[in-house]
C-alpha cells in the first residue's frame, strides 16, 4: 500500500513538473524572434535565412526577423549568438562553413564547436557550382586545369571568405586536379561574384550562383553534387567529367543557444519540418540550387558531429589554411 502511495506521489510530481514545460511550449513565442545570419545580405545563406524566417513567422504566429552579423567566416556573428539568453528568442542559421569546417580551419573560433549549441533542425544542402564570367574563355573545368598547368600560381579564384564552401570546394578541386591556384577571399559571395563578372577573377565556386547562371551573367561549368541540379540541368557534375573526387555540399540548419528548453527546441523543429514540406518553400530552395533536409533534433546533432569529423579530414586533404 505504501509503495503504491509513494509511486502515485512520484507520478504526480513528474506530471506537475512537466506542466511548466508544456505551458512554455504553448506560450512560445510571445515576442519577436531574432535569427542571426553570419553572412552578409545577398548571398545564399542570407536568402535561405530569410526564407526560413518568413516561413516561421507564418507558422509560429510571431515575427521572426533576420539580423546579419558577418565577418571572420561566420565567427563574429556566432560569438554574438552564443552569448545570447537560452530562451528561444535568439536563433542561429548554422552553416557547415562555420560550424563544421571552422573548428579545423581556425585555432580559436571564440566558442565551443559542439557544447555551445543546441541543434534544432537541418534546413538544406547546397552544392557549389564552378562558375566563370559569361565572357570567359573557359568552357569546362578541363580548360581551367590546362591553363593552370601552363601557368602555375597565376589563375585566381574568389570565395566568400577563408574556409567557406567556395574556398574548400576550390581547394578540393585544386588537390584532385593537382594544380596551383591563387585564392582571393572576400567578405561574402556577392562581392566576389561582382569581381568575377568584372573579369578580376578567373573563376569561383558558389552555392548561390543559380540566379546569375540563369541571368546569363556567369557560366556554370560543373556542380559538386552527386546529381545535376533541377534549377540548372545543363550543368554537369564533376563526376560526369571524370573528376568524382570533387564533391561537397554546404549545409544549413537552425540552432539555439546551449540550455534552450527542449520544449522550445521541439516546437521549432516541428515548425521548420512543416515549412520544408510546403511546395512553395521547396520550389524556392530548388530555385536557389538547394535541396531541403529534415530530421529530429537528435538526428541533426549526430549529423553535426559527424560533419565536424568529415570536414577535419577534408581540410587536411585540401591543405586549406586560414591566415
Q: Is 9-126+250-318 a domain of CATH 3.90.226.10?
A: no
| CA neighbor of 268 nearest in space, from 56, 50, 124 | 56
The CATH homologous superfamily for domain 129-241 is: Periplasmic binding protein-like II (3.40.190.10)
- Contact (Cβ atoms closer than 8 angstroms) between residue 69 and residue 90: no
Do domains 9-126+250-318 and 129-241 share one topology? The answer is yes
Residue 291, C-beta contacts closer than 8 angstroms, at least 6 positions apart: 124, 125, 126, 285
| CA neighbor of 251 nearest in space, from 93, 165, 159, 126 | 126
- Contact (Cβ atoms closer than 8 angstroms) between residue 258 and residue 81: no
Cα 133 versus chain centre, distance: 25
CA–CA distance, 145 with 156 (Å, rounded to integer): 12
Residue 139, C-beta contacts closer than 8 angstroms, at least 6 positions apart: 219, 221
pLDDT in tens, the chain (323 residues): 555 554 554 554 444 444 455 566 678 999 999 999 999 898 889 999 999 999 999 999 999 999 999 988 899 999 999 999 999 999 999 999 899 999 999 989 999 999 999 999 999 999 999 999 999 999 999 999 999 999 999 999 999 887 788 989 999 999 999 999 999 998 888 899 999 999 999 999 998 899 999 999 999 999 999 999 999 999 999 999 999 999 999 999 999 999 999 999 999 999 999 999 999 999 999 998 999 999 999 999 999 999 999 999 888 877 776 75
- Locate the domains of the chain by residue range: 9-126+250-318, 129-241
Residue 209, C-beta contacts closer than 8 angstroms, at least 6 positions apart: 129, 131, 193, 218, 220, 289
- Contact (Cβ atoms closer than 8 angstroms) between residue 300 and residue 266: no
Amino acid at each position: 500500500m505504501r509503495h503504491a502511495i509513494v509511486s502515485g506521489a512520484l507520478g504526480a510530481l513528474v506530471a506537475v513538473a512537466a506542466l511548466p514545460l508544456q505551458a512554455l511550449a504553448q506560450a512560445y513565442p510571445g515576442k519577436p524572434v531574432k535569427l542571426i545570419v553570419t553572412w552578409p545580405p545577398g548571398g545564399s545563406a542570407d536568402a535561405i535565412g530569410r526564407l526560413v524566417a518568413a516561413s516561421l513567422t507564418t507558422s509560429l504566429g510571431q515575427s521572426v526577423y533576420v539580423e546579419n552579423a558577418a565577418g571572420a567566416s561566420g565567427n563574429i556573428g556566432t560569438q554574438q549568438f552564443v552569448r545570447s539568453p537560452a530562451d528561444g528568442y535568439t536563433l542561429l542559421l548554422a552553416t557547415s562553413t562555420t560550424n563544421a569546417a571552422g573548428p579545423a580551419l581556425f585555432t580559436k573560433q571564440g566558442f565551443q564547436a559542439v557544447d555551445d549549441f543546441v541543434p534544432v533542425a537541418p534546413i538544406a544542402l547546397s552544392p557549389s557550382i564552378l562558375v566563370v564570367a559569361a565572357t570567359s574563355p573557359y568552357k569546362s573545368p578541363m580548360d581551367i586545369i590546362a591553363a593552370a598547368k601552363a601557368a602555375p600560381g597565376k589563375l585566381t579564384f574568389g570565395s566568400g571568405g577563408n574556409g567557406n564552401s567556395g574556398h574548400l570546394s576550390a581547394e578540393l578541386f585544386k588537390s584532385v586536379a593537382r594544380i596551383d591556384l591563387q585564392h582571393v577571399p572576400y567578405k561574402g559571395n556577392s562581392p566576389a561574384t561582382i569581381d568575377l563578372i568584372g573579369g578580376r577573377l578567373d573563376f569561383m565556386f558558389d552555392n548561390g550562383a543559380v540566379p546569375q547562371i540563369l541571368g546569363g551573367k556567369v557560366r556554370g561549368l560543373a556542380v559538386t553534387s552527386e546529381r545535376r541540379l533541377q534549377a540548372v540541368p545543363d550543368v554537369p557534375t564533376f563526376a560526369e567529367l571524370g573528376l568524382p573526387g570533387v564533391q561537397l555540399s554546404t549545409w544549413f540548419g537552425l540552432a539555439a543557444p546551449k540550455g534552450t528548453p527542449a520544449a522550445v527546441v521541439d516546437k521549432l523543429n516541428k515548425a521548420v519540418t512543416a515549412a520544408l514540406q510546403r511546395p512553395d518553400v521547396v520550389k524556392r530552395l530548388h530555385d536557389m540550387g538547394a535541396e531541403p533536409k529534415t530530421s529530429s533534433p537528435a538526428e541533426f546533432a549526430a549529423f553535426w558531429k559527424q560533419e565536424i569529423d568529415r570536414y577535419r579530414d577534408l581540410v587536411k586533404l585540401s591543405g586549406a589554411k586560414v591566415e
